[in-house]
Structure 1
Amino acid sequence: MSQNFKMIAKTLYGLEEVLEKELRQLGAMDIKKGVRMVEFVGDQGFMYKANMMLRTAIRILKPIYSFKARNEVDLYDGVYQFDWSQYLTAHDTLSVHGTIASKYFNHSQYVALKTKDAIVDQIRRKTGRRPDVDTSHPDLRISVHINDQTVDVSLDTSGEPLYKRGYRDKTNVAPINEVLAAGIILLSNWDQRSTFIDPMCGSGTIAIEAAMIGANIAPNINRMEFGFERWPDYDNQLFEAIQESCLKKMREFDGKIQARDADGYTVEKARENVKNANLQDFIEVEKGDFFRDHQSAQAFLMFNPPYDERLSVDIESFYAEIGNALKQRYTGSTAWMITGNLEALKHVGLRPSKKIKLYNGKLESRLVRYDMYSGTKKTHKIHGKSKSQ
């Protein structure tokens, strides 16, 4: 039986609880939520499954070694003392990524460089040859995290970040990250029955992630390669069994998902991405203007409107138009919107029933919900109360 070990799933700020829930549903043990990360325990097969199935994880790290360091000599010596031959030969390639939160170290790239030096020096002393560095496609990715004096060294099991699902060849300017797109859908608690519409779909990412959630398709089932596939202990038979298990978890999905955009060229890009994801049966991609379309009640809208760098018109009037369109054309619908322009939200002219702080890259953002009641909100509350009594 495979041995259990600790892993760390990295995520975006604000998605920690969603990731924690995903891990619990997947069967992880000893789950501990942190900031932009969730710790958990599982075996080798679970490591494969987590990489394939988690929608809101950016990468999965496997901690292998910890020590104390207050300067570059301590750091070099600490890394050098670990036996790297169990993970790396002189013929392999490596890359090192460093993150720091310490008064003793102030440059993450320098930390990565000293770590790399210690590893290759050790292997060269033992074999007479040093492994090469390959930052784009290495055999082993190593992560070094320094918190004050504590140095944690981990292996990156994922390789390329897990938001690189492989379906998005065509993108518009500043597309939403796939992990963030999946996260806001899961945060919204979409019932997977209401018609799901992204009326400003761009490259189609939100609609694609919604379809994969609705049909329970593993987000990275079509990924070309994971980092662990280059490890000495990689078990291809186990991996294929996990992959087959993920495929069996797919379910029928009869819901309706629509991706719309007013720009014809953008619609074609979204259509191409939907095709790459093999989701043509689940998603309708069509040209449509959010400000002119009418939508029947019970629709569920989720969109990432353009802001600042993607918009050549006046922000205030654009967001005011969003509010007017929701009031006049989408009565009876629930609308979720994420934006990195916090000032622009003030011009929508609607009071959100929910507001969640997130980050889109380094940009502080808000995910807001608007409930577009028929009639006034007060009338809706009275009717709702009388029905429940």
Structure 2
Amino acid sequence: MIAKTFFGFEEILEKELKALGAQKVQKGNRMVSFYGDKGFMYKANLCLRTALKILKPISSKKVKNEKDFYNFIQSIRWNNYLDTEDTFAIYATVNSTIFKHSQFISLKAKDAIVDKFRKETGRRPNVDTEYPDLTINIHIQQDICTVSLDSSGGSLHHRGYRSATNIAPINEVLAAGLLLLSGWDGQSNFIDPMCGSGTILVEAAMIACNIPANLNRKEFAFEKWLDWDMDLFEKIEEACLNKSRDFQYSILGMDKAPSAIRKAKKNIENANLGDFIKIKEGNFFDTQKETEGPLHMVFNPPYGERLQQIDIEEFYTSIGDTLKQNYPGTNAWFITSNLEGLKFVGLRPSRKIKVFNGKLESRLVKYEMYAGSKKAKYQK
């Protein structure tokens, strides 16, 4: 099988898959391949935090031309996956000098499937791009064509808990990946001082409590498959929930916008995580560390389309000053696509990781704020 992910998250996803029990795990570009049975496919969709989709390859072959491709698609035993009363959709990605247009490949594959059913049964399944019973993924790399079934359906970042958002909300898979890149494991207090609609907070709580990432998701594509096994899925879901753990620390979210606070509270309520997350209205630049011991901070400050009304130099200077003066004993991480703005923080990052927020090339940066001087830390 293949788990798709964002650039820079391949290693994290590899670790997640191995921890879940996947076999023959191998990293690729924005994807990780692995082996597992039907039950593991259910578990991967339910539990993986940094996967966008789980694809199940069903056939692969070298194709030289259009006729080759058509015959290959027809050779697949589609009645193992589709009935004539079912609907299907096809999505193709093409990186080839032989085949140039993904839309053409999708249409040609549709013709091959429909023609096969007509010939064998006199009837045909229909295409439905919005709510198909089966989603087919076709990938052509030069002359190698791989046909897969999309077991997830909509992207796995649609967790199911987020009903209210602000401008340019952070993607849930991106939020989970940033948290895991930051080393968040639930073993300290946590704060998101610019929490917006609360996505980072919810993902942080689910990681801390080992709650399956997609527990609140309304539907997976495999639930419409001919071999759907509800009993097996429910057993896997129960087993995963039994591995959840207690969380002994605090998770706090802040935002200066009352509308953001309302949305964050609603999303936290939707995720049933109100017992673990506290929310309060406040401007980060007027705050200070409230808890004893180490503090883990991850946030997504305004940038791109959310930064139109902000003085960049003043804003990033204030981030640096607030961290330096008010947050000793804190590992502070944040993501930004404004690489110029980072110059004004006035602190040297100890880590700088290249990631993408949508199409925006960004950096996840870490600032280690010591209790006392850095020199004193190393003299202990």
* TM tier relative to shorter chain: over 0.9
Partner of 1:309: 305
Q: What's the secondary structure of 2:103's corresponding residue?
A: helix
| In structure 2, distance between residues paired with 1:325 and 1:87 | 57
CA offset digits 1:41-75 (Å, max 9, x no partner) = 11111111111111111111100011122433332
Q: Is 2:348 the partner of 1:351?
A: yes
CA offset digits 1:208-246 (Å, max 9, x no partner) = 001001111111122221111111111111111111111
Alignment of 1:27-38 (within 5 A): 27-38=21-32
Partner of 1:321: 318
For the structure 1 residues 191 and 44, does the alpha-carbon distance in structure 2 shift closer, same or farther, using more than 3 Å as the test?
Answer: closer
Paired residue type of 1:334:
N
Partner of 2:357: 360
Q: What's the secondary structure of 2:284's corresponding residue?
A: coil
Q: What's the secondary structure of 1:74's corresponding residue?
A: helix
Alignment of 1:284-303 (within 5 A): 284-296=278-290, 298-303=294-299
Q: What's the secondary structure of 1:25's corresponding residue?
A: helix
Contact kept in structure 1, 2:151 and 2:222, CA below 8 Å = yes
Partner of 1:134: 128
Q: Which of the residues 375, 380, 389 maps onto 2:377?
A: 380
CA offset digits 1:168-200 (Å, max 9, x no partner) = 010111111111111111111124232100001
Partner of 1:75: 69
Partner of 1:204: 198
Q: Is 2:157 the partner of 1:163?
A: yes
Q: 1:149 offset after TM fit, Å?
A: 0.8
Partner of 2:98: 104
Partner of 1:279: 273
Partner of 1:234: 228
Paired residue type of 1:339:
T
Q: Is 2:12 the partner of 1:15?
A: no
Partner of 1:4: none
Contact kept in structure 2, 1:89 and 1:123, CA below 8 Å = no
| In structure 1, distance between residues paired with 2:109 and 2:315 | 49
Q: What's the secondary structure of 2:279's corresponding residue?
A: strand
- Which ranges of structure 1 fall in alignment gaps of 5 or more residues? 1-6
Paired residue type of 1:275:
E
Q: What TM-score, normalized to structure 1?
A: 0.93
| In structure 1, distance between residues paired with 2:69 and 2:90 | 14
Contact kept in structure 2, 1:90 and 1:124, CA below 8 Å = no
Of 314-323 and 136-145, more deviation after overlay is shown by 314-323
Q: 1:126 offset after TM fit, Å?
A: 2.0
Alignment of 1:259-278 (within 5 A): 259-278=253-272
| In structure 2, distance between residues paired with 1:247 and 1:332 | 33
CA offset digits 1:337-357 (Å, max 9, x no partner) = 011222222222211101111
Q: Is 2:140 the partner of 1:146?
A: yes
Contact kept in structure 2, 1:77 and 1:118, CA below 8 Å = yes
Contact kept in structure 2, 1:95 and 1:140, CA below 8 Å = yes
Q: Which of the residues 349, 361, 368 maps onto 1:371?
A: 368
- Which ranges of structure 2 fall in alignment gaps of 5 or more residues? none
Q: Which of the residues 248, 258, 273 maps onto 2:252?
A: 258
| In structure 2, distance between residues paired with 1:320 and 1:115 | 55
CA offset digits 1:129-183 (Å, max 9, x no partner) = 2222111211001111111111100001111211111000101111111111111
**RMSD between aligned alpha carbons?**
1.4
| In structure 2, distance between residues paired with 1:303 and 1:113 | 43
Paired residue type of 2:376:
T
Partner of 1:3: none
Q: What's the secondary structure of 1:267's corresponding residue?
A: helix
Q: What TM-score, normalized to structure 2?
A: 0.95
Q: What's the secondary structure of 1:268's corresponding residue?
A: helix
CA offset digits 1:259-299 (Å, max 9, x no partner) = 11010011000000000000000100111111111114622
Contact kept in structure 1, 2:185 and 2:208, CA below 8 Å = no
Q: What's the secondary structure of 1:153's corresponding residue?
A: strand
Q: Which of the residues 173, 194, 214 maps onto 2:208?
A: 214
| In structure 2, distance between residues paired with 1:85 and 1:303 | 48
| In structure 2, distance between residues paired with 1:114 and 1:270 | 45
| In structure 2, distance between residues paired with 1:166 and 1:282 | 18
